[in-house]
Structure 1
Amino acid sequence: MLTVQNLSLKTRQPILHDFSYQFAPGQFYQIAAENGSGKTSFLRAVTDLIPASSGKVLLDGKPYAKNKRKLFFFESNEWLNVNLTSLDYLKFVKSQWHSNVDLDQELDLLGVREYVKVPIKKYSLGMKQKLIVAMYLVSDAEYYLMDEITNGLDEESRTVLYERLNDEVTQRNKCIILTSHYSSEIKVNNLHRLVLHKQMMHEVEQ
């Protein structure tokens, strides 16, 4: 369980006020908000990349710092070192997260195998995003925090991705928290939608 208790966030301006919620295994959560409303800041706060103004976050009863290998978060392709390759990143993730996932299988899901040894500086946006998806799946973490993960993916790739994420939730009991503008394209089971608006975040009826 990812437990958020009375969390408030403020960067240059207030983002979130007194938010409490439990994100459970075997469930898929979409967080929707206008650009600049603080979706990314919320994910950063959960993973200790920015400090919360108040409140706390517990990952299976422990602070994130003591349980971080249970969660995977890679904010954007801007984090990628363009001189490395997909294979470099995927081997690193597999090692650091002590994963038993079959690397070959994940290379084929969205076609990363085609450029697995090519330096990232030669990638299109879509190629970078497919690598990031593969990194999540290779980590085999219990919690995925995904920030606009479908950016740059074509319709076919988005469909394949959501089918796989649905399996991760329903068959492997993962907890996935995903920020996205596109509610209509998310067709998964066990879906909860949360809206962040005017510093408040709450679950909405579907």
Structure 2
Amino acid sequence: MALEVKNLSISFPHLRVINNFTYQFNQNGLYLFVATNGSGKTSIFRSILGLIHSKNNGITIDDKPMAQMRRSVFYYESSNWFDINMSGMDYLKLIKTQWKSNVKINAVIHFWKMENYVNKSIRKYSLGMKQKLLIALYLISDADYLIMDEINNGLDEDSRKKLLKKLNELSQHKCIIISSHYKDEVYPYADKILTIKDHEVINDNH
């Protein structure tokens, strides 16, 4: 089983972003995207999920179109996507139901020590609380492919270490595709490093 991207090209009016990106993400391992802001990593993530238009010859999982395998992937771009009138518990229950997950909500809440605020509306959350909820959604989904865009933003150092330890554990049987401003912290855990430079995605040996 693999997530395969073939000849992915992304452009906007008067702006070229990515040229002919072809790559196979295996079912397990941690893939780190290294790129400067505005170079196209988020556009690649959005294109894989069909959130923006792109030119490609197909994005597939196990040779099946992404549209048929949507629940095999989880991507929640930013805590800015949250409806602040909902609670963290609302979101955890929603994702557990939609992804038909067997992961226990209470276990994830305990892992991130969210007990004191998970039932409060998100409008009352700090940035760190929102980010822990965001990560919790990935854990609850239990999806085979987890695409994470700057997932450790807003976390203190201890929480980032805890996250990386968890991602390293998950990468033994899941595919983790991640970008991070704290790339030096992620490097030791990365199985593959993909660098975006001059509209091209370069596969760095690692």
Q: Which consecutive aligned stretches of 4+ in structure 1 deviate over 3 angstroms post-superposition?
A: 187-190
Give the deviation of 1:189 after TM superposition: 4.5
8 Å Cα contact 2:5/2:59 also seen in 1: yes
In structure 1, what residue type is equivalent to 2:6? Answer: Q
Partner of 1:177: 177
Counterpart pick for 1:27 among 26, 29, 32: 29
Give the deviation of 1:11 after TM superposition: 2.2
Partner of 1:45: 47
What does the per-residue CA deviation read over 1:32-91, in whole Å, with 9 as the maximum and x for residues that have no partner?
110011111100000000011233211221111111000000000111000000000000
In structure 1, what residue type is equivalent to 2:51? Answer: L
TM-score, normalised to structure 1's length?
0.95
Distance across 1 between alignment mates of 2:188 and 2:72: 22
8 Å Cα contact 1:193/1:204 also seen in 2: yes
Distance across 1 between alignment mates of 2:36 and 2:187: 21
Identity of aligned residues (%): 41
The within-5 A match list for 1:5-84 is 5-12=6-13, 13-84=15-86
Q: Secondary structure at the match of 2:31?
A: strand
Give the deviation of 1:25 after TM superposition: 1.3
TM-score, normalised to structure 2's length?
0.95
1:69–1:32 CA distance, 2 compared to 1 (3 A): same
| Range with bigger deviation, 156-165 or 12-21 | 12-21
Partner of 2:94: 92
8 Å Cα contact 1:8/1:55 also seen in 2: no
What does the per-residue CA deviation read over 1:125-178, in whole Å, with 9 as the maximum and x for residues that have no partner?
1111100000000000000000000010000000001111111112xx100000
Q: For structure 1, list consecutive stretches of 5 or more residues without a partner in the other structure.
A: none
Q: Secondary structure at the match of 1:35?
A: coil
Give the deviation of 1:187 after TM superposition: 5.5
What is the Cα-based RMSD across aligned positions, in Å? 1.2
8 Å Cα contact 1:72/1:143 also seen in 2: yes
Paired residues, number: 204
